[in-house]
Amino acid sequence: MYCFNNDYSEGAHPKILEAIQNASLDQHAGYSMDRHTEHAKELIKKAICREDVDIHMLIGGTQTNMTVISAALRPHQAVISAETGHINVHETGAVESTGHKVLTQYAADGKLTPSLIQKTLDGHTDEHMVQPKMVYISDTTEIGTQYTLSELEALSRFCRQNGLYLFLDGARLGAALTSSVNDLTLADIARLADVFYIGGTKNGALFGEALVIVHPDLKADLRFLIKQKGAMLAKGFLLGIQFEELFQDGLFFMLASHANAMASILKNAFTDCGFPFFSDSATNQQFPILPNDLIARLRESYQFQDQQAVDEDHTAVRFVTSWATSKEAVQQFAEDLKRLAHQ
């Protein structure tokens, strides 16, 4: 039974495990004050072409989102998200648990635009309503789509004109930056977003998200907030070691690139069989719309998740590849699909 459920089914790339093993018996400063973390931060600064940022390494996405948002907002302020945004749906109300409303707009492709945000601003005009202050986007989005440079520039300009912080959740940023349709760089993101993170968990690390704070107003006292939210790892050097490996020789991009390549084999297989897609993704998540009886047959050999019922007989499903997905597995799947689809 092969599993396409997600990109965090496997442990970590061998280089990362080896680095952890090599450093395991050394004595390290606690709570991310160690030299590996320091070095990893230098590598990331180089990769994003900026020195004037603060970098912190947290364990997972939900805690990073909740920490950043609650650190940035005053109690009456809210964050704007696409309806499908991870913070709105899949974090068990973590943002609200810190006291803040998530204001949403429906976006068919999972991407916010200036005009969608403007609609929210238009509806929030006085002190009887929350005050929108931050925009949350993810790249890639929860449905595998991604922002273009011009889209991100437009968002960034709009946010700056309207006094909104722009926060980019990059849990799957590797997949976005290495996709065939990408025209963004890490440096662009560091220039256009006020705060963002680079995901390790879904790209070959055991865990870890590297948070980059660009806007000076968002930097103060962040270590207090990280500690309070339970997000400060005692053995923080484990995060440093992992990001050192990821950003030392381009491993971060190689792993994401591999996941995308594996997904494109799946995508081609679905396309060849004539199946439409729920979203237009060039990244490691694919959302084909399949007949329910085919889904049932595929599930005899493969695990994958339902996204959403489309009609009585068809469902959009989600296939996710990872840094560890083998070419054999996706080729086998492609063959099985073709065979089963034509029965």
Binding to its own copies (CB under 8 A) within 1-40 occurs at: 2-3, 5-6, 8-12, 14, 17, 20-21, 23-31
Does residue 271 have a cis bond before it (omega within 30 degrees)? no
CB of 188 or CB of 204, closer to its own copies: 204
What CA dihedral angle connects 333, 5, 284 and 187, to 10 degrees?
A: -160
**CA separation for the pair 39, 42 (Å, rounded):** 5
Specify the DSSP element, H or E, that contains 222.
helix 222-228
Specify the DSSP element, H or E, that contains 25.
none
Specify the DSSP element, H or E, that contains 338.
helix 327-341
Can you tell me whether residue 274 is helix, strand or coil?
Answer: coil
CB of 52 or CB of 221, closer to its own copies: 221
Residues 184-213 that bind its own copies (CB under 8 A): 201-202, 206-207
Of 322, 93, 65, nearest to 197 by C-alpha is 65
Residues 49-68 that bind its own copies (CB under 8 A): 59-64, 66-67
CB of 65 or CB of 264, closer to its own copies: 65
Site string for its own copies, 298-337 (x = CB under 8 A): --------------------------x-------------
Backbone torsions φ then ψ of 36, nearest 5 degrees: -60, -45
Give the one residue of 46, 49, 148, 230 binding its own copies; rule: CB under 8 A: 230
**CA separation for the pair 164, 151 (Å, rounded):** 16
Tell the smallest beta-carbon distance from residue 224 to its own copies (Å): 4
Residue whose entry in the numeric block shows the structure tokens 């390790």: 200
CB of 132 or CB of 144, closer to its own copies: 132
CB of 129 or CB of 181, closer to its own copies: 129
Does residue 113 have a cis bond before it (omega within 30 degrees)? no
Residues 111-150 that bind its own copies (CB under 8 A): 127-131
Tell the smallest beta-carbon distance from residue 192 to its own copies (Å): 26
Tell the smallest beta-carbon distance from residue 258 to its own copies (Å): 14
CB of 18 or CB of 335, closer to its own copies: 18
Strands 314-320 and 285-286: antiparallel
Can you tell me whether residue 6 is helix, strand or coil?
Answer: coil
Give the one residue of 42, 98, 265, 336 binding its own copies; rule: CB under 8 A: 98
E strands in the chain: 2-3, 54-58, 77-82, 102-105, 131-138, 165-169, 195-199, 209-213, 285-286, 289-291, 302-303, 305-309, 314-320
Residues 75-94 that bind its own copies (CB under 8 A): 75-76, 78, 89-94
Give the one residue of 38, 42, 54, 96 binding its own copies; rule: CB under 8 A: 96
Tell me how far apart the 2 most distant CA atoms of the chain are, in Å: 62
Tell the smallest beta-carbon distance from residue 153 to its own copies (Å): 30
Tell the smallest beta-carbon distance from residue 235 to its own copies (Å): 5
Can you tell me whether residue 299 is helix, strand or coil?
Answer: coil
Contact window for its own copies (CB under 8 A) among 40-48, 74-82, 138-146, 156-164? 74-82
Q: Does 229 bind its own copies (CB under 8 A)?
A: yes
E strands in 139-291: 165-169, 195-199, 209-213, 285-286, 289-291
Of 212, 168, 204, nearest to 284 by C-alpha is 204
Tell the smallest beta-carbon distance from residue 223 to its own copies (Å): 4
CB of 7 or CB of 151, closer to its own copies: 7
CB of 42 or CB of 83, closer to its own copies: 83
